[in-house]
Amino acid sequence: MSAFIRDLGFSVRGGSRGTITQFKEQLNRLAASHMQIGLWNGSRSMALNAQPIKSFEIWLPQDPDQRVLWSSTLRLDHDFYELLRAHALPIDIRALRAFAQSAKQIDMVLWLAYRLRNVSRPYPISWEKLREQALTRGP
């Protein structure tokens, strides 16, 4: 987990306000979440209501350099996992790190990556449209 936190561009720190604790809290929130995912490909629509994480057990040492004695496990819901596999979007985490200062920019990069892999003909996107998207506030 420390390596993953480092790959995301964060320093690895233990303690009550460290990145390991914050990562653990976010993982707990994700594990408790329920998601509704809708997909549309132009001729077919589908939806999945899922709790993405079926179970997990993670051992988090206080010292980020300490090795753990037991392996951690994370089990995804089968339907959720299969949906992810079927619609995977390969992303280089180093590219996302360049936009780490803005969730909106990350959303735009992911949207463009998703959109461009499905475009079979030229599809111009003006800078003005991108600017409008960046200024749009979500709910």
Q: What is the pTM for the complete model shown? A: 0.55
Nearest Cα residue to 48 out of 89, 84, 91: 84
> How far apart are the C-alpha atoms of 5 and 124, rounded to whole Å?
36
Does 69 share its domain with 15? Answer: yes
Does 65 share its domain with 97? Answer: no
Per residue in 67-114, pLDDT tens?
Answer: 767 777 888 889 888 888 888 888 888 888 888 778 788 888 888 888
Structure tokens at 81: 């996992």
Does 75 share its domain with 99? Answer: no
With a cut of 50, say whether residue 31 has pLDDT above it.
yes
Does 7 share its domain with 74? Answer: yes
- Under 8 Å between Cβ of 50 and 37: yes
Residue 100: domain span: 90-139
Tell me how many domains the chain contains. Answer: 2
At 124, is the pLDDT very low, low, confident or very high (cuts 50, 70, 90)? confident
pLDDT for 139 equals 47
Q: What integer is the mean pLDDT of 44-64?
A: 77
Q: Is 43 helix (H, G, I), strand (E, B) or coil?
A: coil
Structure tokens at 101: 């200062």
Q: What integer is the mean pLDDT of 17-43?
A: 84
- Under 8 Å between Cβ of 14 and 64: yes
Does 76 share its domain with 114? Answer: no
Does 3 share its domain with 39? Answer: yes
How distant, in Å, are the alpha carbons of 19, 84, 116 from that of 120? Answer: 42, 23, 8
With a cut of 80, say whether residue 27 has pLDDT above it.
yes
Does 78 share its domain with 94? Answer: no
Does 53 share its domain with 3? Answer: yes
